[in-house]
Structure 1
Amino acid sequence: MTEKTQKTDRDLFDLFDSLGIAHETLEHEAVFTVGESEWLRDAIAGAHTKNLFLRDRKDRHFVVTVEERAVVDLKTIHTVIGASGRVSFGKPETMVNYLGVTPGSVTVFSALCDAGGNVTFVLDESLMAHDRITGHPLRNTATTAVARDDLIRFLEATGHTPLVLKVAD
């Protein structure tokens, strides 16, 4: 098991800046669920997301990012993302170890912390129809928006080639 590289939101923003990625961040009180963050829709533009930290039976891990109200069938998603058998939610301690975040803060931006390449990042294709996409910047007390194409560039800069697949109904 390769441990994560400890990073902060400042490291994330510095990488964005070095890549020429425009980003906007809104500070707010901690939110742990999509329901708690509904008010953000009017406060920061972009497709708002939910992120699922999943593992398969071979202990491979995935972060699946979909639009906040998307429905994901956990009984069949393994056939779409290439997992070995059905998936379940990953353990919080593994999330901390691999991605440097705790439950409620997992996000596609956590790829920054996965120096060992332990996690596969999956983006729902309907999410990728939006011009801007939001996520927590490694903490659930802020929300950051970047352009869709810049999100892909960010992931590739962290050594992750995302899978863009239809995972939500």
Structure 2
Amino acid sequence: MAPQFELVIHALNKLQMDYELVEHPAVFTTAEADRYIEGVPGVRTKSMFLTNRKKNAFLLLIMDDAKRLAFHQVETLTEIKHLKMASAELLKDKLGLEPGMVSIFGLLNNQDKDVQVFLDGDMIGEVRMSFHPNVNTSTIFISTADVMRFIEQMGNPVNILNLE
């Protein structure tokens, strides 16, 4: 097993969180992953790592995969201007991840605890959410309550955004 994957499984077991793991070939988009997790209950999430022009604000945005990202709306709601997708180098530096593997589990690698987490408020009522466990060859389904608890255990406050 990959060290990043083992780190996630160890953390979930230590926190006594139940999860369902679906293994599949490497995928790089949520559309690709959907082919392998079709029929498994839980909202499909899209996780994006964003930064501002000055690269002094770092956001992990988790939203329903069915929605489109509207940068202007996120800037307005977070009051952080000039947002853009972070570079692969910044993603590796802050979350220890490669593109296509972004999820809440990257917070395990955020030593500086400087990544702000924003969740789409429409997902809070869902029973379970899905994420890559720091590798793109598996998808983990975890209860929404445990998602919130995991993020808080990592030392990151959960911010809720009401995205359209």
- TM-score by length of structure 2 reads 0.91
Residue of structure 2 equivalent to 1:14: 10
Residue of structure 2 equivalent to 1:155: 151
In the comparison of the two structures, how many residue pairs are matched? 161
Residue 76 of structure 1 aligns to which amino acid in structure 2?
Q
Could you tell me how far 1:45 is from its partner in structure 2? 2.3
1:143 aligns with 2:139: yes
Could you tell me how far 1:129 is from its partner in structure 2? 1.6
Could you tell me how far 1:43 is from its partner in structure 2? 5.0
Could you tell me how far 1:11 is from its partner in structure 2? 1.6
Residue 69 of structure 1 aligns to which amino acid in structure 2?
A
| RMSD between superposed Cα atoms in Å | 1.4
Residue of structure 1 equivalent to 2:64: 67
Q: Does the 8 A contact of 1:41 with 1:48 survive in 2?
A: no
Could you tell me how far 1:40 is from its partner in structure 2? 3.2
- Where do 1:93-108 residues align within 5 Å? 93-108=89-104
Structure 1 runs not aligned, ≥5 long: 1-6
Deviates more, 1:87-96 or 1:14-23: 14-23
* Counterparts of 1:43 and 1:96, CA distance in 2: 32
- TM-score by length of structure 1 reads 0.89
Q: 1:112 aligns with which of 105, 108, 119?
A: 108
Residue 110 of structure 1 aligns to which amino acid in structure 2?
G
Structure 2 runs not aligned, ≥5 long: none
Q: Does the 8 A contact of 1:76 with 1:86 survive in 2?
A: no
Identity across aligned pairs (percent)?
Answer: 25
Residue of structure 2 equivalent to 1:76: 73
Residue of structure 2 equivalent to 1:126: 122
Q: Does the 8 A contact of 1:115 with 1:158 survive in 2?
A: no
